[in-house]
Structures are given as C-alpha cells and as structure tokens.
Chain A
Amino acid sequence: MKQGLWILAVLLSHWRRHPTQLATLLVGLISATALWSGVQALNQQARTSYDRAAAVFGGTRVAMLVGRDSTFSQKLFVDLRRAGWPVSPVLEGRVRVGGRSLRLLGIEPVTFPAETGTIPSIRTSDLQTFIVPPGEALVAPETLSQVGAAEGATLRTDEGAMLPPLKVQAQLAPGVMVVDVGVAQRILHLPGQLSRLLIGQTRGTRAPLEAIAGDKLRYVAPDAETDLERLTDSFHLNLSAFGLLSFLVGLFIVNSAIGLAFEQRMPMLRTLRACGVSSRMLNGTLLAELMMVALVAGLIGLVCGYLIAAALLPDVASSLQGLYGARIPGELTLTPQWWAAGLAMSAVGTLAAAATSLLKAIRAPVLAMAQPYARQQTQQRWLGWQGLAALAMLVAAIAVLIVGNSLISGFAILAALLLGAALALPVLLGFVLRIGERSARGPLAMWFWADSREQLPGLSLALMALLLALAVNVGVGTMVESFSRTFATWLDGRLAADVYVNARDDAQARDIQTSLRARPEVTAILPSGRAEIEIGGWPVEVLGLADHATYRDRWPLLESAPHAWDDVRSGRAALVSEQLARRLNLRLGGRLDVSTPDGAWSLNIAAIYADYGNPKGQIVVNIDAFTSRFPNLPRTRFGLRVTPDKIAPLIDDMRKTFHLDESRLSDQSTLKAESTQIFNRTFTVTAALNTFTLGVAGVALLTSLLTLSNSRLPYLAPLWAIGLTRRQLAGIELLKTLSIAFFTALLALPLGLLVAWCLIAVVNVRAFGWRLPLHVFPLHLAELLGVAMLASLLAMLVPVARLIRMPPAALIKVFADER
C-alpha cells in the first residue's frame, strides 16, 4: 500500500512540474463532462416533468375509461363501482387565476388508484382536510410562485369562483391544480359530470363494460411511454447528439494531453521499473492516477454542467412548451443518478482517451529502444489504416442513408460522415503537404513543408476537433438560417387572416359574426373548424377552411395538383400536411380515408403543404364539407380580413363588447411574434451548444500547440544555429500552423454543407416529418473561416511569444543534451 502511494506520488509529481499539461487535461475533461452532463440534466429535468405530468393526469400510465364526448354522467361511475369495476372519477378543465391558465383536476382520493403513485399525502393523514369543505387545492411549488400566493391562501378564479386553500405538493406538475372532484364540478360548472375514470389494478369478477355503460365509454389501455415523451423524443435526441459531440471534442483534448504526458513520462516509467516497481503495480497505479484525475475533473465538470443546464433551461423549457405544450419547471432538480452517471462518463471518457497511451505504457519494454525509423514506418502504416477506416466510415454513411429509415439511422449517418471526415483529415493534409514539399523551391521552403508534415501527427487530433466543430457549426448554422428564411415566408402563408376569433360557444360566434358584418373595415369573415382524429394510429387535426383568396393565394403549398383549391371546395379533396404525407406515405392524387361521426370520408389528395413544427398530422378540407361531416363540433372559430389600420380598434371594440380574452381573440402580428419567438428559441439551445463545441475545439487547438511547442526545440535549434533569428523562426512556426488550420477550415466548409444537407434532408425529416429548402449563406461561411483562423492565431500567440522570448541558453541546451 505504502509502496503504491509512493509510486502514485512520483507519477503525480509530473503534473506538479507541468501544470499547463495538467490544466489542459482538466480543461478537456471538465468541458467534456460539463457539456454532456449539462445536456443530460436538461433531458432528465424534462423527462421528470413529463412523468409528473403523466402521473397527475392519471394519463397514459394507467388504464382508463373515457367518454365519447368530452364529459359523461357521474352515474356511470356509480354503476361501474357497483358492478365491481375499481374505477376512480376524474374531472378535468381549465381555470384562470390571476390571468394565468391552470389545469384543474378533480379527483376522488378514496378510490384513487395507488399505482398512479402521486399525491400520497392525501391517502394518509390529510384525507379529511382534502375532502371536507373548504377542502384543499394542491399545487406544485412552481405554480404557487406563479400565482404569487402563499401556502394556505384562498384564491378566486378570474370568473369569481372561490378555490379551496392552497397546499403545496412537490410531486405535482407545474400549472396543475388538484382538488376534490366535487369542488372541480362546482368551479367548472359541470355538476354531475366526469372526464374519465381511472381503473385500478384490483382483480376480481366484473361485468362487461358494454353491459353497464353501453357505448358511452371506451377503454384506453395503459402505455409505458407518455405522449409527451414520444412527441419530444426527437428534441431530446437532438440535444443528446450535441452533448455527445461536445463530449467527443473534449476528449480530443484529453487524448492529446494524456498522450503527451505519457510520452514525456516514458523514461520515468522505465526508471521506476528499473528501480524495482513491478509492471502490475505500475499499471495499477497509472490507472489509479487516471481515475483520480477523472474524479476531480468529473466533479468540477458536473458543477459546470449544472451551471450550463441552468443557463439553458429557460430556453429549453420555452421551446418544449411552445412546440409540444410540455411544461418544465424553471429550476433544476438533479438526482444522485445524474451525479453518478456524470462521474462514470468522466471515468469512461478518461479511459477511452487514455487507452492508447496506457496500452503503450503497459507494453513498453523496461529498456528503451531507439528505433526512430521503425516509429516513422509505424506512423505511415497507421496513416494507411486510418485512410481505410475513413473510407469504410463514408461507405457506411452512404449505406445507412440508403437502407436506414429511423431517426437513429439519421444520426448514425451524421456520426459516420463526421468520423470518416475526421479520420481522413490527416491523410488529406499529409497529401497536400507532400505536394507542397515536392513543388517547393529553396531549402527553407522545403523545410517548411517537410517540417509541417513532421508536425502533423502531433496536431492531427486537435485539427480533427477543429474540423468537427467547424463542420457542425456550418451545418447547424446553415440549417438554422435556412429555417429562419423559410419560416418567415411560411408564417405569412399560414397566418393569412388578420384577426383570429374563438368564441365561447356557437351562439356567441353567431352574435359576433352578425355584428362584424355591419362593420365596413371587416372585408371577410372566414369560418374555420377543427377536429381531432386518428389516422393509422397517429393524431391528426382536420382543419376546415373557407374557400377564399386569403388561403388560395398564401397557403404554403409544397406541391399541388391543378385546380387543387377547386377540388377542396367540392368536398372531395383535402390538402395534406408534409408530416402526414411522409408518415403515411401519401402522394399527390392518392386517397385518404378520414373517420367521421358519419362514417368514413374518402378524400383525394389535392396538395401537400408545409406545416413546420406541428407534432401532429394535419389535413385541410373545405369548411362546409367539414361542418356537414362533423356536425356536432362547435363552430366558434373564424378568421377576419380587416383593413390594416383598423385592426387594433376593432380588437379593442370586440374585447369590450364580447368580453373575449387573449386566448379567444388575437391578431396576426401578435401570433406571428409569438410563433417566431418559439421557433427562434427552439434553436437557441442548439446554437449555444454549437458555440460551446467550437470553443472547446479552439481550446483543443491551443493546448495541442502549447504542448507541441515544448517538443519543437530540437527541430528549431539547428535553424537558429545556422543563422535564422528567433523572430524569423516564430514567424515560420506561425505561418505553418495557420496554413494547416486554413486547409482544415477549407475542408470543413464543404463537409459542413454536407452536414447541413444531412440535418435538413435526413435528420429533420425523420425527427419532425418536414424538410426545409437548403440555402447556402456564403457570408456565414466566410465568417466561420475567419473565426477559425482567428482561433488558430490566438492559439498560436502563446507558443510564438514564448519562442521569440526564448533565451539563447535554452536553444544551446538542445545541443548540450545531444549524445
């Protein structure tokens, strides 16, 4: 034990003498762990929220009975209980409190199934308080702070209904309020009505459902996954992919730092062996040393990861709420598993990055054997294998592109493409430098190219990191810019009406329309309808639109048959969203069967349109045909065309006259601003991770150059001895590194465009079901090229300054050390 500690102390003494190397190693590991664990923290936070939401809704994790309409009679609950069904009633609706919309959930705690695993305190000591008037309104801590009330406070809804006193329940999802079902019926003005019945797992004989409820209720089987989890999977996969990329780029730094440290320590390891340290003891201690570094860096990385996640959480929460309606609390709560996984990731990453160096140290003979030529040959052979591996990766990318069809395969294509390109980089650079060497005139130029080639192995990992970071930056930047440009045009087409109205009921809708017909500034009233159905097991919205130039001229059609709008007007055809068309493999001229209360409605596909960001499928039909097929749906929605300068006064008048709040009356510009904000935020996180990754690549380059500069003296001293000044040498070093970085950045541009194409045409299509047009932005590419060169210049500053200031004694020492 004591012997091991002494050996460990000797190994650690290397880092004390080389603090920059230690810093490099720690920076790499900390960056890798921080970015990975930050992203995992975000994902975990979101998933916990989905679980909380799912559990509170008593949703898809529990079997339930739902009505044909939105609510059904409470009598069915009583009948089912009497027939032996272990059901528990739930009534759900929305209330506004202090201008905030909350989901009100009425439950019956005595019969509430235990397997939902929520609100445990109701089941024990607080049952009486919850049921007996005034009862309790359970809310999450986040909701309590949102409504700005203290625990125990009694609030009123905006409509004036008195709520029970508030009580905090940490397990609840934000934005949800749980009350006794009787209280919910009173607040929602739905006496004797229920939304669904949760089914407990009690076994026993029960009468068939149909015998008790007829066709009024239908059974919904429990699902392992929540809807939110399914919908948001692609978003989280996207985040994970970026986290993993950043992690890998960080490991490039670790690999480079550990490689150099092991190379420098090889004589020390031999001395230790010569002094009687067994190889087992030495290898074990080397491993222990690495694990110590991984543990320390992992812990710091986790703290940094927490900070990154906390900084990005508002954007992620906003994106998830905007895109999927998923609510994520604004504060991070992290589990012990997250800490453990982060440390494990740091340890695994360290081992992976150190594997080659560790193996080399383990296999190294006790006696040093100077075989420079053999090493050079090995390097050449290795480069050949690397070239073959790169080729294999690129072939694999093409194969997966042809064969694969899932989102995972989309990311696999990206991974294979990036890895293949990274592996090919040293081979390509070697080729370019060899051409340069052959065409060089004069001894200094020849040395310039030859020495650049000599430097390549030491720099190649950092250059690979730079290539990956730049390519991903170009790819994601191009995708986001393409999206931004397309989205603006698309939004103009989708939000064609000037004002959107959703009346409280049909009667109010009729009143509003009558009043609007008398106003000359309203140039068109465009009634619309919306029905939720399922096609092929996928949720689909049926949208009924009026036949009007507003839509004919601006609806964002991607492809259409001749006279598409005329066909839609006839009620025989529909426009289909791109997602739905891709999902169900629908083509123009094909047919689509829509189930309606009247039976199947067979529709011709007249056009396919862009519907970016909608996780559901959507079809557009004529409003009259829609109304006849879905006669029982409320006709409360309509859009208005209004003279532009009269929009604001009209909205003010309507608010005053019909008491319509923001959720029922909105103008186009507000909706556009909100939608643009949601979509911009969707990519804020990606852009932030992108920048982090580029930063890490910059650090990788800096650290590689710093470490490499230490071993450059024997190459530079002879030139200094034959008459080149230190300033000239520094200039040559700078030029060499900038040239190599420039070639790398040049290669990154086409690779980045390929990544953009892959994201737009493969990953997005498989993740979201829609494809964007690819736009190339030359200015953005030029900017990135500039950033890469600036990063390389900054990375070179310290080694160059060090060389310029190097005392002649240090250069002379090179010759003094020669044997």
Chain B
Amino acid sequence: MRVPTASKVPLLDVRNLSKTYRSGQERIAVLRGACLRVEAGESVALTGESGSGKSTLLHLIAGLDQADGGSIRFDETEVTALADRGRAALRRNRLGLVFQQFNLIPSLTVADNLAFQARIAGRHDSRWQSDLVDRLGLGDLLKRYPEQLSGGQQQRVAIGRALAVRPPLLLADEPTGNLDEATADEVMDLARDLIRQTGCGFLMVTHSARIAATLDRQILLSAGLIA
C-alpha cells in the first residue's frame, strides 16, 4: 500500500478503503485498503483491469455506496460518516457525476436535463448554463429529448449537468466507454477545457491508456489496491 505524500490539505483524501461484496456464498473483496489523494484543480485518471475496483472506488467517493472500512475525506467532510441525506446533499451541492451510460432523464429535454441538478441544489445560474450550452455546442439541441441525441451529444449534456453546480470535484466513470475514438476525444477536450475554466478537481475511471495520458496524473488500481 502506497500513500501519496501530502504537501497541503488535499481536496480528496481516501485512506485504507475496503469494500466486500457477497455473491451467493462467496465474499469478494473488491477494495482492500485503497488510498488516494486528489488536489484541488488536479485531473487524475484511475485505471486498472476489469474488476479491479475502479468503479467501486468512485461510487464510494460519490457516496453512492457505503464502504466497509477506511476513510474518505472530501473538502473537510468525512464522507463515510454521512447518512443518506448527507451523502445526497454532498452529491447535489459539491460533486458532479458523469457515467458511461449517460444517465440522463429520458422524459426531460436537454435544457431541463442540463439545469436539473443545479435547480434541485437551488443554485441555478442561467448565465452559467448558457455559457455551458455554448461551450458544449448544445445550442441547437436544447428542445430535444435524450433519445433523439447521439451518444456523444448525450455525454456532453451529462457533463454540462454535472458542471452546472460548479462542483469542486467532478467524478467520471468511463465517460468515453460508449463513444467512438473521435467522439471520445472531442468530449474529453470539451471536458478538460471546462474543468480548467472552473478549476474543479477531476477524477476519471477509464480503460483507455491514451485518454488517461491526457490527464495530470494516472493511478493504477490492481486487485483492490492502488499500485
């Protein structure tokens, strides 16, 4: 186990995180004491083989699931100590989440999808949203529904929704996994620009070494441990 050395208080500090799943009679240890730090404004790629625990780690950081042991400290908040309501508030107000499956709300238009998280967080900023629309090139698509968009367009909406609350940290789980190479590059370029502009940290799970190489730092997760 290798704990990154800290020069200042990190935005995200994960220590000795463990998580075990049960499959029938078998117990599978997905994370076995993983440690990770992300500084404010830093872009980090989390790579590893399938089943190495990348997505699990990301879900635990986002408070989508609960860890069995260890600590997740995000911006002065101990995530593992939060109850469901607190974790929901954390995701709503201070995190942006992007998934491989886009996870847009199919019954809302692009405009409503973009504004959704900011609205429920009570931080809707129409000027910022309009800026996001321009930068993400969604101006002509605002009245469309997700099913009427291509995969790349849907992922751009998902990124816009996540950044609409100006979160200190953006978490992305294989955001280019469903996209072809050119579209993936295009989406990543846009994401990186926006992240740079907002100054938020970025932690991305990816299989692609090529895309991982475009970020500030790469971390390899292997058999539940940071290599």
* Residues of A bordering B, CB below 8 Å: 2-3, 6-7, 10, 13-14, 16-18, 267-268, 270-281, 365-367, 819
Contact = CB atoms under 8 A, between A and B. Distances in A.
Interface stretch (B7-15, B57-65, B133-141, B184-192): B57-65
B103 A6 contact: no
Contacts of B89: 276, 278
Contact of A267 (B88, B103, B116): B103
A6 B88 contact: no
A272 B117 CA distance: 9
Nearest to A369: B21
B93 A268 contact: no
A268 B103 CA distance: 7
Given A268-B105, A276-B91, 15 more contacts: A2-B122, A6-B119, A10-B105, A10-B112, A13-B112, A16-B107, A17-B106, A274-B64, A274-B99, A274-B103, A276-B120, A277-B92, A280-B85, A365-B65, A367-B64
B92 A268 contact: no
B84 interface: yes
State the 7 A-B residue pairs at the shortest beta-carbon distance, nearest first.
A276-B92, A278-B88, A276-B91, A13-B107, A17-B107, A271-B103, A275-B117
Nearest to B158: A271
B213 interface: no
Given A267-B103, A366-B64, A367-B64, A275 B145 contact: no
A14 B146 CA distance: 13
Interface in B103-154: 103-108, 112, 116-117, 119-122, 145
B46 interface: no
Contacts of A271: 103-105
B90 interface: yes
A276 B107 contact: no
Contacts of B64: 273-274, 366-367
B218 interface: no
B16 interface: no
Interface in B50-109: 59, 62, 64-65, 84-85, 88-93, 95, 97, 99, 101, 103-108
A819 B97 contact: no
A13 B120 contact: no
Contacts of A7: 120
B105 A3 contact: no
B178 interface: yes
A10 B116 contact: yes
A366 B122 CA distance: 22
Given A7-B120, A367-B64, A277 B88 contact: yes
B97 A275 contact: yes
B19 to A, nearest CB: 12
A367 B85 contact: no
A7 B121 CA distance: 11
B65 A6 contact: no
A15 to B, nearest CB: 8
Contacts of A267: 103, 106
Given A271-B104, A274-B91, A275-B97, A6 B62 contact: no
Nearest to B109: A13
A552 B204 CA distance: 100
Nearest to A278: B88
B107 A10 contact: yes
Contacts of A280: 84-85
A378 to B, nearest CB: 14
B107 to A, nearest CB: 4
Nearest to A15: B107
A763 B79 CA distance: 64
B97 A274 contact: yes
A279 B107 contact: no
Contacts of B116: 6, 10, 275
A13 B88 CA distance: 22
29 contacts: A2-B122, A7-B120, A13-B107, A14-B106, A17-B107, A17-B145, A268-B105, A268-B106, A271-B103, A272-B105, A274-B62, A274-B97, A274-B103, A275-B117, A275-B120, A276-B90, A276-B92, A276-B93, A276-B117, A276-B120, A276-B121, A277-B88, A277-B92, A278-B84, A278-B85, A278-B88, A365-B65, A367-B59, A367-B64
Interface string B210-221: 000000000000
- Of A6, A268, A279, A281, chain B has the most CB atoms within 10 Å of the CB of A6
B21 to A, nearest CB: 10
A10 B84 contact: no
A275 B121 CA distance: 9
Contacts of B88: 273, 276-279, 281
A17 B108 CA distance: 9
Nearest to B59: A367
A115 B63 CA distance: 68
Contacts of B85: 278, 280
Given A274-B97, A278-B89, A367-B64, A13 B84 contact: no
Contacts of B91: 274-276
A573 B63 CA distance: 89
Contacts of A277: 88, 92, 120
Contacts of B84: 278-280
- Of B91, B120, B145, chain A has the most CB atoms within 10 Å of the CB of B120
